[in-house]
Amino acid sequence: MATARPLYELAAGFNAIFDLVLDDTMDLELLEEGLQSIECEVEEKCANGIALIKSLEHYAAAYKQEKQRFEKQQAVLENRIKRIKEWYRQNLDAMGKSKVPTKYGVMSVQNNGGKAPLKIDDASRIPDAYLTTVPEHKEVNNEALYEALKDGATIPGAHLEPRGRSLRIR
């Protein structure tokens, strides 16, 4: 790592400590030994300690700010990737293609795994056979309702949403 310059003026021994602190492979015991080995008046040692801490706080704040900038850029790129994948998924579906091999990999469109989502449009229209009585009111028995809809039953007030599709690249 290139030697960084502290924000505050530090005595020579503290400059070496500053370089040690910025080395992420440095052992903390070595840092404490380094601080112990610097001989000077207590006021000078404390003044340099304050300068060292303030310099390190400045560096930490700068790293935090840079981290936030990178996180924002990461979110932008991930959103763009999602949009591009969705564009390819829609176009491959429109062309009736589910798999396209290329020299860089295989682009394919598949149904998402898992159950089709259950959508209750109007719980008041669902027949009693698919309701569970709880003291003071009735609640929809989602499992029974799902199984019946999956088996092809038409039940007023509910339906299964089609499972989503997504693009995969291997």
List residues bridging with 120 in a β-sheet.
158
Lowest mean pLDDT among 6-15, 80-89, 123-132, 158-167: 6-15
Q: Are residues 7 and 47 in the same domain?
A: yes
- pLDDT for 1: 47
Q: Are residues 90 and 122 in the same domain?
A: no
How many whole angstroms separate alpha carbon 16 and alpha carbon 159? Answer: 70
- Per residue in 116-169, pLDDT tens? 888 888 888 888 888 887 777 778 888 888 888 888 888 888 888 888 888 777
How many whole angstroms separate alpha carbon 51 and alpha carbon 53? Answer: 6
- pLDDT for 9: 59
In a domain, 103, yes or no: no
Q: Residue 48, exposed/middle/buried by CB under 10 A (0-12, 13-18, 19+)? A: buried
- pLDDT for 161: 83
In the chain, what percentage of residues exceed pLDDT 90? Answer: 29
Q: Are residues 15 and 52 in the same domain?
A: yes
In the chain, what percentage of residues exceed pLDDT 70? Answer: 91
Segment of 21-25, 54-58, 91-95, 114-118 carrying the highest mean pLDDT: 91-95
- pLDDT for 88: 95
Average pLDDT, the chain: 83
Structural domain for 45, as ranges: 1-97
Q: Which pTM value belongs to this model?
A: 0.52
In a domain, 112, yes or no: no
In a domain, 104, yes or no: no
Q: Are residues 46 and 76 in the same domain?
A: yes
- pLDDT for 65: 95
Please tell me the total count of domains within the chain: 2
Residue 131, phi then psi, degrees to nearest 5: -120, 150
The average pLDDT across 81-101 equals 94
